[in-house]
Structure 1
Amino acid sequence: GFVLTEQPSGQEPWNLTDFAYLPDGNGLLSTGKEGRVAWVSPEGAVRTIATLPVVAEQDLGLVGIGVAADYATSRQIYLARSVPSGDGYVIRLARWTVTGGYQPTGLTGERILLDLAGDSNVHGITGIVPAEDGTVWVSVGDIAGYTEVDPLALRAQNRDLPHGKILHITADGLGVPGNPYYDVARPGATASKVFASGFRSPFRFSIDERTGLPVVGDVGWNTWEEVNVVRPGANYGWPCWEGKDKTPGYSRLAGCANVGNTDPIAVFRHGSGIDGGNSVTGGIHYTGTSYPAAYRGAYFFGDYTRMKLWTLRYDEQGEVTTPPQSPPMGTGIGRPVKFAAAANGDIVYADIEAGVLRRLSFVEGNTSPVAKVLTSTDPATRTVTFDGSGSFDFDGDALTYDWDFGDGGTATGQRVSHWYAEGTERFTASLTVTDSLGAEGTTEVTVVPGNHSPVITPNVSEQRFAVGEPVTVAATANDVEDGRLDIEWTSAVVHCPEEATCHSHPGPSHSGDGFTYPFTDHPDSRMEFTATATDSEGVSASYTYVAWPREHRVTLTSNVAASLSIPNETGGSSAMVTEGAVVNIEAAPVATDGVSTFANWSNGDTDPATTIVMGGSDLTLTANYTTPVAQRYAADTALRTTLGAPQGPEGTQSGLHYQGYANGGAPNGRDGNIGGARVDLPSVPNARRSR
């Protein structure tokens, strides 16, 4: 049932490096290794909006793009490229502003966020993921040699250098408060930006909506490819470790002494065997509904060299529950260099070898498109104009338009005109719309070439609505031949978890010029009210008013990385919610470290699964977890007296928790030194620490 379909990328074969969808179905932007930034319209038209100077050798060039979450208003994107500088180059992350309107026309206003010396032409900036809160996640390789042991790779172990790190920064390039080594006095310091360390070439990553943690594919050196769930402050071992083993040649270096390793959740040995890999490409979780249940929520990823596709599943603590398939789910799939989700959640990846995007769809889960037609008639010339732009596809696919005018004439295109000869006064015309998988939708309209079409004049207010707020719609209908016409109203609640996964729930109908109905409490929904008037010849006209919700953002955070969700909205930890709606929020009883336990929400609620009513402004709720350090501190009166009050936020280092106190000392989550005396904390099941 799975099929791969090709879509244009705007780039040439062996030049396509990255792509990102624009909001509101406005096509996508792609990057080419040689510096080209292209816009691809929803219909597949391609426009070059910029050609930037780059050094395009080995891993270098224009290699990464991320679209800001607020792009619709800010028009900002992020680009990663190697920039010529003197006799060499620098590896740069920069923010740009896209010019033009609906159709992008150019780039302006470069703001440099990170410049790194070009010490090697491999393993540079390897991924950019803008977050909903306006921050940006960035992956950086070791920028070290790959043909032999290169001591520069040890920079991946130095938190004061960005090499070999996952960074979490603000839109202006500063560290994000809450990063494990964030220093409020030095937000611009590299350590303040570091989220995790010990990566070689963390080639592509995404954020798991359940936990808020990055999931990355780290390209190996001689033996192993890795998939890692990235925890704050954790060390993933490179160059001292590769996979779950110490790295020959590196592990004996002085800089690898006492360096621990956080195990990957999956490894693949190099080689040509059926399960082998040689260059992993990190992927994304499938969030749609058209795939079979076995794939919903699965993590899809691939291998560039071996041209393979796998999925796996893991739980909120990072334990694999469904290992990668053997043999892989797909082979000979092309060379994936980036995974993203289509509007309906379908997995889409960039195939650099062919220079195209490949979309993985499940035919049986494909929804047929809906055809909609508006007509206007000029009786003097017997010309009828047909407009199919109201047609849509719930899967977000581009449509083709085929017209049958009922007199033997046909045409293609979204909007067409047709002249009807004298002699016959009534025709039935039809429109068939077809999506990329061949599913069709058809509608028919009555056409009377010598008769004017009715005209509907709406009388509505442009506003947004809270749950239960009355929506009033009104209109009048007139016809040149028949005068004032009666209006029939229909209504529907359109539920859209994502804009391309909408479905409609019919509501009440009404006869008359207008009526009032309360706004829906259905999550992720809008309401549509359609007025239809039909003249004595059977020619109809219609008008649809869309009542949009008045929404505010709910964001769930936690003091320790944990699975947080809004089940009746997106299922993620952040969602736009209609004012007045009841919102379910959930926090995992145990954090992803396997030891910290839920205590309460920042509003005082002690139930990890509870509800709130959305107010009139954005809301952030924090799930507070009691860590082993806090548990030990709370249980021991003498210890509290010795240490004094906690100072600043609790941090982690190589998987261990630590906390500063007024009188000095920082007890670790498993064992540590307090005031010069060693304190052993009780054993906690499932506690993790690095080797």
Structure 2
Amino acid sequence: MAKHNVKTTWLLAFGIVIGIVLYVVVSKGTTNRNVDEIAAVDDTNPSAFAIETVVSGLNVPVAGAFTPDGRLLVTEKIGTVRVIKNGVLLSTPLIVLNDVNVYADHGLLGIAIDPDFEKNGYIYLSYTYENNPDDFGGPKTGRIIRLTTHGDTVDPDSKIILVGSVGGDAGHPSCNDFPAGTDCIPSDAGSHSVGGLRFGPDGKLYASLADGSRFDIVDPHALDTFDTQILAGKILRINTDGTGPADNPFYNGDPHANQSKVYAYGFRNPFRLNFNPLNNQMYIGDVGWYDTEEINLGVPGGNYGWPCREGREAQPNYDCVTENYVDPLYTIPNEHTATSTFALIGGTFSGAAYPMPYQNNYFFGVFGRDTVKRVVFDKDNNVISHVENFLVGTDGPVDFFTGPDGSVYFISIIAGEVRRITYNTNRPPNVVLDATPQTGSTPLEVSFSSSGTTDPQGYSTVYNWDFGDGSEISHETHPQHIFVADGTYTVILSVSNDRGASDEAKTTIIVGDVPVSMGTGSSPQLISTTISPHEVYAADLVTISATVTNRAESDPILIDIEIHDDVNGGEHLAQQYYDNVVIDSHKQQTFDLGWIAPQPGRYRVSIGLYDANWAHLKEWIDNALTFTVHSRSPE
């Protein structure tokens, strides 16, 4: 049974399939000075950096962008654009696209805001186009579109296809079914589709496109990255109407021609890109195959070598040679294993929210590892310093971007959250609460533990335990407590440091008889729990559906759906709860939890039915469903 303050959580192994992008940070004011020298004269406290949640409850979020008025727009893989306004996730989406394919790593993957948004309301989206719903995992194509917003809504009739107007159909699902030069974005396999969107300092829209080919075998179509008439493995540079600017490196006189839109080529999966504010140059995170992850400096007309090259070496599995290629600016060895992925996620540059040595740093991440990395470049793109494992707590980073406050923000696809890197010299303690047992008959003696609780700055702390039963507050670190009456108790551990910062954690103790199995005849009652798809592989998007019936009065209830690791100690992995739900008498309703399976293993679904606001547990089904996640090859 999870703590009630656990928010909606989604777990996924995105990089197992897509081989995505990583986190990096660069520093302003370090052009002519070594970072260690700056640190020696600066009072920056590295421990004052932390990752905090901006908003949670997103359904497999993938990309984000700020509007000039401070709203944050976030794309969800399924085709939804959500609005975060004044720190609150609005319940009504900005728009829901109904032509998005979400198989494997496909989905609504990129978003950008027009530089003249305040005048025209334009937003730009890139996604995998569903051209044949009857063949969900078959060959697909990609699209880049423009929409016009009005407040927190979109005019659906404003949709304009900028790139990818030829989407294919059931008879011709692949770009390979059309001649070279067709306005078609390849997306034949379950990964390597469209990617990021960013406006450059020149006011042009830049779009990253993967090679559209198989990730697990040597695929001859990977060589299409070298053909400027085919929109595979490219960085595009286009006008806001989708045409190619006349100063593009391969412009042929026709602004609608594919090659007129190409800025650079020879990429595998350049999932994310961004611009260095020190020199306005483009940094591209290109996901490697089995050897090397790359950060590339985008130059007009550049050939980045894939599939003949990976990193700074020839790719041995492809028997090909390319000339006049551009070597990466920065590389990282690929450290994937049989059960974990490793994919660099291109990052962003920090602003004035941090002390001077940490401004204009490049922060990036690796999907499959839980750390943020920081790289410091100078204005000539030379690496001054890099820091491994700068921060921990990414939970599947898939997009990095800089906020109007100058902070680095990123999308955690696993947790379903937008997060931010903050700097605060008096951070509250990190509070960890554990209790054993959490249920039992009266009298119930419970051992509480605060093991793992720390203060980031090392300040002294005070513990306050409120057991929720009217007893005295305890100041011990690991108290014992006896509950003498039946009931459901919320136990709160509050920890404060000597500088006045505090935080708390909660858990629930249930004393007395508790309904713990299905078929009790109680109301409301869980009548079924199902999973889709039935055969689950790592990185698959899974939907857990719990159907609840009500045979009594229509009082508000709470439905709690949880996923646990059924092998490694029952670790809590994901949760979705629905509060203040009213089910009409003698009716039933289904509630879903969306989750991306992180790795092979066996998992358990638990369901809890409560009165609204967690007031009283009506029924707890510890083992409502078990399922197995099978392995798949890394991409």
* Short-chain TM bin: 0.5 to 0.7
In the other structure, the counterpart of 1:11 is 58
- AA partner of residue 140 (structure 2): Y
SS at match of 1:235: coil
Kindly state the Cα deviation for residue 333 of structure 1 after the two structures are TM-superposed. Answer: 2.4
Q: Do the aligned partners of residues 182 and 210 (structure 1) sit closer, same or farther apart at CA in structure 2, a change above 3 Å counting?
A: farther
Kindly provide the CA deviation profile for residues 320-357 of structure 1, in whole angstroms up to 9, marking residues without a partner as x: 222x22x3212342111111112211111000000101
Change (3 A) 1:331 1:260: farther
| Displacement of 1:6 | 0.5
Alignment of 1:113 onto 2:181 = no
SS at match of 2:268: coil
Specify the SS of the correspondent of 1:29: strand
In the superposition, the TM-score normalised over structure 1's length comes to 0.49
Aligned equivalents of 1:298, 1:121: Cα separation in 2:
33
Match of 1:75 in 2: 121
Distance 2:258 2:57 in 1: 35
Query: Partner of 2:586 in structure 1?
Result: none
Letter in 2 for 1:139: S
Q: CA deviation at 1:170?
A: 0.4
**What per-residue deviation string (whole Å, max 9, x for no partner) do you get for residues 622-664 of structure 1?**
xxxxxxxxxxxxxxxxxxxxxxxxxxxxxxxxxxxxxxxxxxx
Map of 1:227 onto structure 2: 295
Corresponding residue of 1:150 = 219
SS in 2 for 1:48: coil
1:338 aligns with 2:399: yes
Contact (CA 8 Å) 1:277, 1:303: kept in 2 or not?
no
- The percentage of counterpart residues that share the same residue type is 32
Q: 1:209 to 1:438 in 2, by over 3 A?
A: farther
Q: Write the distance in 2 (CA, Å) between the matches of 1:133 and 1:216.
A: 17
- Cα drift, residue 208 of structure 1: 1.8
Find the partner of 2:265 among 192, 197, 202. 197
- Give the partner amino acid of 1:182: Y
Secondary structure of 2:405's partner?
A: coil
Alignment match, 2:72: 28
Runs of 5+ unmatched residues, structure 2: 1-47, 165-184, 428-498, 503-635
Q: Rg larger in 1 or in 2?
A: 1
In structure 1, C-alpha distance between the alignment counterparts of 2:500 and 2:194, rounded to whole Å: 39
For residues 585-636 of structure 1, what are the alpha-carbon distances to aligned partners after superposition, in whole Å with 9 as ceiling and x for unaligned? xxxxxxxxxxxxxxxxxxxxxxxxxxxxxxxxxxxxxxxxxxxxxxxxxxxx
Q: Residue 202 of structure 1: CA displacement?
A: 0.4
**AA at the equivalent of 2:141:** V
Q: Deviations over 1:277-310 (max 9, x none)?
A: 820111111121x323321121111111112211
1:147-546 matches, cutoff 5 A? 147-183=216-252, 185-250=253-318, 252=319, 256-271=320-335, 278-288=342-352, 290-322=353-385, 324-325=386-387, 327-364=388-425
Q: For residue 105 of structure 1, report the CA deviation from its aligned partner.
A: 5.7
8 Å CA contact 2:195, 2:270 repeated in 1? yes
Partner SS state of residue 88, structure 2 = coil
- Residue of structure 2 aligned with 1:137, choices 192, 200, 206: 206
For residues 589-604 of structure 1, the aligned pairs below 5 Å read none
Shift in Å at residue 132 of structure 1?
A: 5.3
SS in 2 for 1:202: coil
* Paired residues of 1:39 and 1:104 also in contact (CA < 8 A): no
Contact 2:50 2:391 in 1 (8 A): no
SS of equivalent residue, structure 2 residue 212: coil
Distance 2:154 2:96 in 1: 12
CA contact (8 A) 1:9 1:16 kept: no
Q: What are the ranges of 5 or more consecutive residues in structure 1 without an aligned counterpart?
A: 367-436, 441-691
Contact kept? 1:96, 1:110, Cα under 8 Å: yes
Change (3 A) 1:210 1:189: farther
2:348 and 2:237 mapped to 1: Cα distance? 18
> For the residues of structure 1 that align with 2:120 and 2:326, how far apart are their CA atoms?
38
Of 57, 63, 74 in structure 1, the residue corresponding to residue 103 of structure 2 is 57
Q: Quickly say closer, same or farther: Cα 1:235–1:226, change in 2 above 3 A.
A: same
Q: Is the 8 A contact 1:10 1:38 kept in 2?
A: no
Cα distance change of structure 1 residues 156 and 297 upon mapping to structure 2, 3 Å threshold: same
**2:73 match: secondary structure:** strand
Q: 1:438 to 1:139 in 2, by over 3 A?
A: farther
Instruction: Provide the TM-score with structure 2 as the length reference.
Output: 0.53
**RMSD of aligned residue pairs (Cα, Å):** 2.5
Equivalent residue runs for 1:601-616 within 5 Å = none
* Aligned length in residues: 355
Aligned equivalents of 1:214, 1:134: Cα separation in 2: 13
Aligned 8 A contact 1:68 1:131 in 2:
no
C-alpha deviations, 1:124-162, integer Å up to 9, x for none? Answer: 111101245542011111001011000111111112222
Q: Does 117-126 or 346-355 show the bigger shift?
A: 117-126
AA at the equivalent of 1:6: T
Query: Which of 61, 65, 84 is the matching residue for 1:40?
Result: 84
Deviations 1:208-244, CA, capped at 9 Å, x for gaps: 2333321011000011111111111111111011111
Q: Secondary structure at the match of 1:137?
A: strand
- SS in structure 1 opposite 2:389? coil
Q: Establish whether residue 104 from structure 1 lines up as the match of residue 165 from structure 2.
A: no
Q: How far apart are 1:58 and its partner, in Å?
A: 1.5
CA distance in 2, matches of 1:210, 1:365: 30
- After TM superposition, the structure 1 stretch with the greater mean CA deviation from structure 2, 169-178 or 207-216, is 207-216
State the distance in 2 between where 1:79 and 1:70 align: 16
Aligned residues of 1:69 and 1:131 also touching (Cα < 8 A): no
The 5 Å alignment of 1:558-637 reads none
SS in 2 for 1:364: coil
Q: Contact 1:218–1:228 at 8 Å: present in 2 too?
A: yes
The alignment partner of 2:271 has SS state of strand
Distance 1:186 1:313, change over 3 A: same
Is 1:95 the counterpart of 2:139? The answer is: no
Distance in 1, Cα, partners of 2:267 & 2:302: 11
2 CA distance for matches of 1:301 and 1:307? 11
Corresponding residue SS for 2:69: helix
CA displacement at 1:439 relative to structure 2:
9.5
Whole-angstrom CA distance in 2 between matches of 1:30 and 1:197: 28
SS in 1 for 2:221: helix
* RCO higher in structure (CA 8 A, sep ≥6): 2
User: Matched residues in 2 for 1:356 and 1:82: separation?
Assistant: 22
Residue number in structure 2 paired with 1:604: none
